[in-house]
Amino acid sequence: MLDEIHTTFRDPAGSLLKYNSKIFRFINPLYEKEFNELQILKSLKKLLKNNDLSKYRILKKNEISSLLKDQNFSKIFNRFNSNIVLQHEVMDFVNYPYEWSNNMLFDAARLTLDLFENMLSETYGLKDATPFNIIFENTKPVFVDLLSFEKRDPFDPIWLGLSQFTKTFLL
């Protein structure tokens, strides 16, 4: 079963695809350099170790070749022209901010700010700050949008995601 997930319409860095109950993310070639730099950051490894960021793996070329044998998958893959494909860990239960309690919303907001603050030490930050980037795994908020991380100018004090954070978490 092939089902394109239209959740990355605002983010040109990549796109999601649901295929045979698996979640794949195609990395846009224009974002590959930044993505590769992101992979070596200590902050990112710490987020993965603490289960604050959803787990994923980078597919090997032979795995991609095997998937490309499916004509439908191949058609979508070719549209993205991606050299890097990720397979994300599938969450048992997908939940949405409008289903959360106030405490859950607070925990998600705190995770968002913690992620932003931790990544700043390595000149990365979040390009957006929406609760839809988080899914609760049992009672723990988990950030699921890897491509929300972006390289930042260390001398730029402005976080463009602050407005979105305020509107979606606080108001």
What is the spatial distance between Cα 76 and Cα 90, in angstroms, rounded to a whole number? 20
Reading the block at residue 138, the tokens are 């049992």
> Tens digit of pLDDT for each residue in 102-154?
999 999 999 999 999 999 999 999 999 999 999 999 999 999 999 999 999 99
* Residue 31 Cα to chain centre, angstroms: 13
- Evaluate if residue 41 carries a pLDDT over 90: yes
What is the spatial distance between Cα 28 and Cα 12, in angstroms, rounded to a whole number? 7
In angstroms, the Cα distances linking 7 to 15, 20, 141, 147 are 8, 18, 19, 12
When the pLDDT of each residue in the chain is averaged and rounded to a whole number, the result is 92
β-pair partners for 17: 4, 24
> Tens digit of pLDDT for each residue in 142-157?
999 999 999 999 999 9
- pLDDT in the model for residue 73: 86
